[in-house]
Amino acid sequence: MLCTLAVAGVLYLFYKIRINQLMRLQTIRTRIARDLHDDIGSTLSSINMISSMAKGNDGSRKKASEMFNTISSASGQAMELMSDIVWSINPKNDSMEMIIIRMRQYASEILEAANISFTIELNGFDKRVQLPLEIRKDFYLIFKEAINNLAKYSDAQHARIIMNFSHNVIHLVIEDDGVGFDLDQIDSGNGLKNMKARSRDIKGEFSIYSMPGAGTRVSLDIPLAP
């Protein structure tokens, strides 16, 4: 009798683990489908709309050139978004080492083009630290948005990217010595709304501090399962 109960208990445990795995996979699939629909779908819709407008152009070369430039820019954005999604679901990129490499490459590309020097400081990371698929993309896109805003609006000379790992929490800070801004006067045009929403999706804590003439500091804390 006890043996039967033990076997039943083990089978139930395996069943429960399997159900949890299937639910996790379904959540991941749903999120990927949402991203494809929202991000890629909206960009392709814009390309389609502008293409239709270009076909009906009254012959103005300047207007046609502007439309085709917009199509080119939107196409590049769609390709970049697709690249981010493909990268985020590749299990080879689970390690923080791979994530940090991609972050460093992106920061170098964007900030150097804006003539902003930067440093990256890493503390507490080792090969055992991994960022799960369901967190990785949103974490990286928050980082990208922060770097883009820094390059476009900060007028900074130098930026610091600081990442610490302690007590199963990743702490990311991006700060600059730029012109800063009044938080009460800022709208969602700089992607702040998207960064906050992505942070909520991965149960993170997002904050931003800035004052005119005092630079800007973006902070993100993400808890990882032990």
Mean pLDDT check: name the lowest of 5-14, 150-159, 203-212: 5-14
Residue 177 in contact with residue 214, Cβ under 8 Å? no
Whole-angstrom Cα distance, residue 166 to residue 128?
Answer: 13
Whole-angstrom Cα distance, residue 124 to residue 165?
Answer: 5
Q: How much of the chain, in percent, has pLDDT values that exceed 70?
A: 64
Please determine, for residue 5, whether its predicted confidence score (pLDDT) is greater than 90: no
18 falls in which pLDDT band (50, 70, 90)? Answer: low
The shares of helix, strand and coil residues in the chain, as percent rounded to the nearest 5, are 60, 20, 20
- Average pLDDT rounded to a whole number, residues 7-23: 57
Please determine, for residue 32, whether its predicted confidence score (pLDDT) is greater than 60: yes
Instruction: Give the tokens for residue 180.
Output: 């800063």
Q: What is the structure's pLDDT at 91?
A: 73
Q: What is the structure's pLDDT at 119?
A: 95
202-224 residue pLDDT tens: 899 999 999 898 999 999 999 98
Q: What is the structure's pLDDT at 226?
A: 66
Q: How much of the chain, in percent, has pLDDT values that exceed 90?
A: 31
93 falls in which pLDDT band (50, 70, 90)? Answer: confident
Please determine, for residue 175, whether its predicted confidence score (pLDDT) is greater than 70: yes
Q: What is the structure's pLDDT at 194?
A: 84
Please determine, for residue 105, whether its predicted confidence score (pLDDT) is greater than 70: yes
More confident residue, 5 or 49: 49
More confident residue, 184 or 171: 171
Give the CA distances from residue 189 to residues 7, 43, 62, 126, in Å, rounded to whole numbers and listed in that order: 58, 17, 28, 37
Bridge partners of residue 176, in order along the sequence: 159, 216
Instruction: Give the tokens for residue 77.
Output: 């954005």
Please determine, for residue 10, whether its predicted confidence score (pLDDT) is greater than 60: no
From the list 60, 54, 173, the residue with the least C-alpha distance to 121 is 173
Give this prediction's pTM.
0.72
79 falls in which pLDDT band (50, 70, 90)? Answer: confident
